[in-house]
Amino acid sequence: MDKREFLKASGAIVAGTILSKAAASEQPNGPRENWAGNIAYGTERLYTPGSVEEVRSVVKSSAKLRALGTRHSFNRIADSTAAQISLKNLDQIVIDETARTVTVGAGVTYGKLAPVIDAKGWALHNLASLPHISVAGAIATATHGSGIRNGNLATVVSGLEFVNAEGELVRLTRAKDGDRFLGAVVGLGALGVATSVTLDVQPTYQVAQSVYRNLSFDQLQHHLDEIYSAGYSVSLFTDWQNHRATQVWIKRRLAAGDANKWEKEFFGAALANEKLHPIEGHAAEACTEQQGIPGPWYERLPHFKMNFTPSSGRELQTEYFVPRDRAYEAILAVEKLRDRITPHLFITELRTIAQDNLWMSMAYQRPSLAIHFTWKPEWPEVSAILPLIEAQLEPFETRPHWGKLFTLAPAKLESRYARLNEFKSLAASYDAQGKFRNEFLAHNLYAS
Residue 371 · residue 348 · CB < 8 Å: yes
Stretch that binds ligand FAD, among 97-105, 136-144, 255-263, 283-291 (CB under 6 A): 136-144
32 binds ligand FAD (CB under 6 A): no
Of 15, 23, 114, 140, the residue at the interface with ligand FAD (CB under 6 A) is 140
The amino acid that residue 79 corresponds to is D
Residue 287 · residue 347 · CB < 8 Å: no
Residue 174 · residue 217 · CB < 8 Å: no
Stretch that binds ligand FAD, among 132-140, 212-220, 240-248, 410-418 (CB under 6 A): 132-140
DSSP-based helix, strand, coil % in the chain, nearest 5:
30, 25, 45
With respect to ligand FAD, which residue has the nearer C-beta, 219 or 277? 277
User: Could you tell me if residue 186 is left (phi over 0), alpha (psi between -120 and 50 degrees) or otherwise beta?
Assistant: beta
143 binds ligand FAD (CB under 6 A): yes
With respect to ligand FAD, which residue has the nearer C-beta, 100 or 166? 166
Binding to ligand FAD in span 305-324, by CB under 6 A: 310-311, 317
Backbone angles phi, psi at 139, to 5 degrees: -70, -30
Smallest distance, Å, CB 406 to ligand FAD?
Answer: 12
Beta pairing, strands 193-200 & 157-163: antiparallel
Angle between helices 174-184 and 420-430 (to 10 degrees): 110
Q: Which residues pair with 327 in a beta bridge?
A: none
Beta pairing, strands 233-238 & 265-266: unpaired
137 binds ligand FAD (CB under 6 A): yes
The amino acid that residue 169 corresponds to is L
Smallest distance, Å, CB 99 to ligand FAD?
Answer: 22
Going residue by residue from 170 to 189, which x/- string records binding to ligand FAD, judged by CB under 6 A?
Answer: ------------------xx
Smallest distance, Å, CB 438 to ligand FAD?
Answer: 8
354 binds ligand FAD (CB under 6 A): no
435 binds ligand FAD (CB under 6 A): no
| Count, residues near ligand FAD per rule CB under 6 A | 35
Stretch that binds ligand FAD, among 25-33, 63-71, 280-288, 409-417 (CB under 6 A): 63-71
Smallest distance, Å, CB 228 to ligand FAD?
Answer: 16
Question: According to DSSP H, which parts of 20-99 are helical?
Answer: 52-61
| Spatial distance between the Cα atoms of 187 and 161, rounded to a whole number of angstroms | 12
By CB under 6 A, name the binding residues for ligand FAD.
35-36, 66-73, 77-78, 87, 106, 128-130, 133-134, 136-138, 140-141, 143-144, 188-189, 193-194, 310-311, 317, 401, 403
